[in-house]
Amino acid sequence: MNFRRTAAGSLLAVAALVVWQLAAAGPAGALSAEEGAAGTGAAQAQAHGAQAGEAAEPYTQAPASESRAGSESSLLSIPAPSTEGAVSVEKAIAERRSVRRFADEKLTDQQLAQLLWSAQGITEERRGFRAAPSAGALYPLELYVATPEGVYKYAPGEHAVRPVKSGDFRRELAAAALGQSSVAQAPASFVITAVYERTAGKYGDRAERYVHIEVGCAAENLMLQAVALDLASVPVGAFRDAEVRGVIGAPAAEAPLLIIPVGKPAG
């Protein structure tokens, strides 16, 4: 992986904050601000009881994220995503299978960038809407990827990644996933976490349901994108939350929900 350092302008952060505030102030009960799906929710609620626990710019230090671990706070640029491909949605749906054995072949930066974008990338710049629908456009999900080079956290607003840990932590992640070898063997294992409080503040007791709907949408996007890239994947839900959180360097406010190993199928 040869991610390059990129400038993270403060204007993007301000714009993202404005979008979040406008979405949070919208009408309650919408499953998605983009689609206006029906639903009802309280304006205030207790936070969910999550388990404890395009061209590169000259280097500029980016603001550190509240959800980072470690001292590396600068963003690294990744290739721009493509919105055109040779594989139809129908073909990707028909060919998707859960694959647990992967070839010893790293993913390219373009593949990694495309997979990250497919799950959480910005698809509507003006209002900051993402690839997966979100109740009230509150976007509680966070996305990490563990590769042989390190653990990275995706920054959707900048379409960039933030280094969290240097080194190969895939074996540790597999150990946290009850020893599932696919997590260690895959050249990239994506981890989706959620901050339930982002959604609970508006939708109350419905928040957990909405967050779980959202993670399913994001995961399916990523797995279908993998098929379109001639790759394979498998969703992994069996793991020890606190251990996964520690391996990827996520803060206590984030609840790990899914691990998705991705790679070229073996054989």
Say how far apart CA 154 and CA 8 lie, in whole Å: 13
Question: pLDDT tier at 44 (50, 70, 90 boundaries)?
Answer: very low
Check residue 14 and give its pLDDT: 35
Question: Spelled out in words, what is the top-level CATH class assigned to the domain 4-263?
Answer: alpha beta
- What pLDDT, on a 0 to 100 scale, did the predictor assign at position 267? 82
Give backbone dihedrals phi and psi of 255, rounded to 5 degrees, phi first: -100, 120
**SS3 assignment, position 188:** strand
Average pLDDT over residues 72-88: 91
Under 8 Å between Cβ of 264 and 230: yes
Higher model confidence: residue 12 or residue 204?
A: 204
Burial of residue 162, with CB atoms counted within 10 A of its CB: 0-12 exposed, 13-18 middle, 19 or more buried: buried
pTM equals 0.77
What phi-psi label fits residue 240: left (phi over 0), alpha (psi between -120 and 50 degrees) or beta?
Answer: beta
- What's the gap between Cα 61 and its chain centre? 22
- Residue bearing the bigger pLDDT, 22 or 155: 155
pLDDT for 5 equals 61
